Amino acid sequence: MKYPILLPNIFNYPFTYESNLDLKIGEYVSVPFGKNKLTGVVWDKLEENEQKKFKLKKVFKKLKVKPLKKTTINFLNWFSEYNIIPKGMALKLMLLSNNAIEDNIKNNFQVFESNIKNNSIKLSEDQKKSLKEMVILNNKFRVHVLQGTTGSGKTFVYFEALKSIIKKGFQGLILLPEIGLTGQFEQKFVEYFGFNPAVWHSGISKKKKEIIWNGISNGKIQVIIGARSSLFLPFKKLGIIIVDEEHDQSFKQDEGTTYNARDMAIARASFENIPINLITSVPSVETYENIKKGKYGLSRLNQRYQNASLPNYEIINLNNSKLEKQSWLSNEIIKKVNSHLEKKDQVLFFLNRRGFSPHVLCNKCYTSFSCPNCSINLVYHKNKGNLLCHYCGYKSHLKRECSKEGNCEFIFSGPGVERISDEVKRKFPDKKIEIFSSDTMNKKDSMDKLDKIIKNETNILVGTQLISKGFHFPSLNCIVVVDIDLSSQGHDLRGAEKNLQLYHQLSGRAGRTGKPATVYFQTYNHDTKVIDDITNKNPDIFLERELEIRKKNKLPPFQRFISLILTGENEHKLETEALGFKNFIETKIEGKVLGPVNAPIFRLKRKFRVRLLIRGIKSMKVQNSIAKIIPNYKFGSGIKLSVDVDPINFN
């Protein structure tokens, strides 16, 4: 008998195989493909084009794995169509290193057994009301947004909603935007529920992933806490999805198969017909628009947990406080910080720049240190003793022969967190200081560092935006934004929205246990409107204004953007190809083609990059027309096309 078998590769259709086995849709099989043996899944439809007559290969065997559910197959088909990627690549996301993990492995799932303990946490009236709104029709698809000021106890509310689902025998998925959050969050989960969730992200060992994949497939594991990729696990009986920090742009997968995990989570919940809860302090513009249209339900928590007050805000005008040479901290801010330290407050100096300095140049020949593979500056990391490209990972030592004479004499232009940390150590030599960034907090000792911060054994933190993402530091009552002007520059479509969310999240780290707290903004800008926007207790005012601007200019969420990026090693050939490609597709797709233009980062990983942008109505017609026309265009050798539906990053 003939069977359609989808394989985890670049093809957009299943291959036809023969078998005497009685195979059902969703079952995993082992099949020959060329000289290789691959794992595939029995798909829902045979190949459409069978004009060629050739001998069919036979299925080797059926694997001892719970079949992929029909709802999951439907989701993957839709995912492929929406994101304009081959069906085989969608299946690849669902498998583990292109394999399914069979049930005959003697896995020990006891560590994940969901014996829920009785906890004594009392919810406030606001929390009880939000929980009640959350669990209405809790076994059917609906999108519900839980919006609450940082520190308002949103986590406890959705933990209670999750508990009711687990007790009914269903599985739950909690999506987090950053790997760095999973450790502290896992501890909080265990304290609340009394059992271990399975944690899933790129840092988990292969053996542990095999156990978790198999445990999710056969229903032995009930709760997953994970990053983007956990959305594609083969859940046997998924009952709820929770997307924490739904506004966070880290949910967008920018490399390889591009997709927005938040949006795809909503789609998967729809196909599974289960509830999904979006958790946020400041909703994304897209989510806010859907709340306004009545597509999403909304609950609000307006008071912080145990009535802790929100921090106060102060502006430090740097025009009135001259900075010392090679200094970024004013005398006024040093006095403020000292007064907080005397009260045993923990202090955070915030600057969203990794490393020591973002720009290194020679004082004699004025040549910058730039990446040989990418059209960007190398960042000097003093702690590692090297220059680093944050895009391709290129490393270089800080030594170079000067075109004038001898070796180059270096000037470090601008600060990163390491440079601010050096200054803080000079100003506060007797204090324990820790840098909090992705360079320091993704290491084996990061949990020890977190523990010391929580216990207030670390007096001063110097951090990037990573610190704004859901961490609970009980003693943090002073935040210094070193240079608010840096983050308010640029021409990013979502720049204002990002700033609003970042600084609301950041300020939410302070004053969580009831002590008075203050956020200080250093600025040279006389116009404090940006600061007024991001510190307003009602973010809806900003979101309403932002929606009006987007609507007027036909920007998302009112129209769909699809980015087409062409890359190649030959600059002239690439630009010629991009113009030819535009001319070919312009009259054949459901949308307006903008460009081509050179990407802001024109060269990346040794490839030049040119962008086209499709602007169209919010309809699958746009994707379908693009998917139909692209295979008919033959690109020159060395030219690669990648497609990004609903782009967030325009680099």
Between CA 230 and CA 383 the distance in angstroms is 33
CA distance 341 to 473: 15
Domains of the chain: 2-94 (3.40.1440.60), 110-115+122-306 (3.40.50.300), 311-356+415-536 (3.40.50.300), 560-645 (3.30.70.600)
552 pLDDT higher than 90: yes
Inter-helix orientation angle 154-167/125-134, to 10°: 40
pLDDT at residue 51 tops 60: no
Q: Do 436 and 463 meet the contact criterion of CB atoms below 8 Å apart?
A: yes
Question: Has residue 600 got a pLDDT over 80?
Answer: yes
Tell me the three state secondary structure of residue 452. Answer: helix
Arithmetic mean of pLDDT over the chain: 89
Give the closest residue to 161 by CA, choosing from 268, 266, 275, 291: 275
Largest CA distance in the chain: 84
- The label of the residue with tokens 């391709």 reads 392
Residue 5 CA: distances (Å) to CA of 43, 45, 245, 591: 6, 9, 38, 34
Residue 390 one-letter amino acid: H
Instruction: Write out the two tokens for 453.
Output: 């911060």
Are 245 and 177 in contact by the 8 Å Cβ rule? The answer is yes
Higher pLDDT, 131 or 111: 131
Q: CB neighbours (10 Å) of residue 619? A: 12
Instruction: Encode pLDDT of 62-110 as tens digits.
Output: 999 999 999 999 999 999 999 999 999 999 999 999 999 988 656 677 7
Give the angle subtended at the CA of 613 by the CAs of 609 and 616, to the nearest 5°.
165
Nearest Cα to 350, choosing from 333, 368, 369?
Answer: 333
Measured over the CA atoms of residue 529, residue 534, residue 537 and residue 542, the dihedral's sign is positive
Could you tell me the pLDDT band of residue 115, with boundaries at 50, 70 and 90?
confident
Residue 228, φ and ψ in degrees, nearest 5: -45, -45
Q: What pLDDT is attached to residue 310?
A: 74
Q: Give the three-state DSSP class for 29.
A: strand
Spatial contact of 520 and 582, defined as CB atoms under 8 Å apart: no
Residue 374 CB partners (closer than 8 Å, separation 6+): 389, 391, 392, 394, 601, 603, 604, 605
pLDDT of res. 493: 72
Tell me how far CA of residue 369 lies from CA of 352, 361, 380, 531, 608, in angstroms.
21, 6, 9, 34, 19
Q: pLDDT at residue 567 above 90?
A: yes
Question: Could you tell me which residues come within 8 angstroms of residue 137 by beta carbon, excluding any fewer than 6 positions away?
Answer: 275
How much is the pLDDT for 397? 86
Task: Determine the Cα–Cα distance for residues 31 and 18; give it in Å rounded to an integer.
Answer: 10
Handedness of CA 621, 623, 628, 632 (dihedral sign): positive
H, E, C per residue of 460-518: EEEECHHHHCCCCCCCEEEEEECCHHHHCCCCCCCHHHHHHHHHHHHHCCCCCCCCCCE
Q: Give SS3 for 177.
A: coil
CA terminus-to-terminus distance, the chain: 50
pLDDT value for 104:
64
Q: Which range has the worst mean pLDDT, 98-107, 486-495, 499-508?
A: 486-495
CA 353 to each of CA 154, 327, 376, 386, 419: distance values in angstroms, whole numbers, following the listed order: 29, 16, 15, 16, 10
Q: What is the DSSP letter of 96?
A: B
What's the pLDDT score for residue 184?
76
Q: How far apart are CA 436 and CA 416, in angstroms?
A: 12
pLDDT tens profile 206-256: 999 999 999 999 999 999 999 999 999 999 999 999 999 999 988 999 888
Q: Which position has the higher pLDDT, 468 or 37? A: 37
- Count CB atoms within 10 A of the CB of residue 180: 24
Count of C-beta atoms within a 10 Å radius of residue 134: 24
Q: What is the mean pLDDT of residues 484-495?
A: 65
Q: How do residues 141-176 score in pLDDT, each as one tens digit?
A: 999 999 988 778 899 999 999 998 999 999 999 999
3-class state of residue 73 by DSSP: helix
Structure tokens at 184: 């502290």
As a whole number of angstroms, the distance between CA 338 and CA 480 comes to 12
Amino acid at 485: D
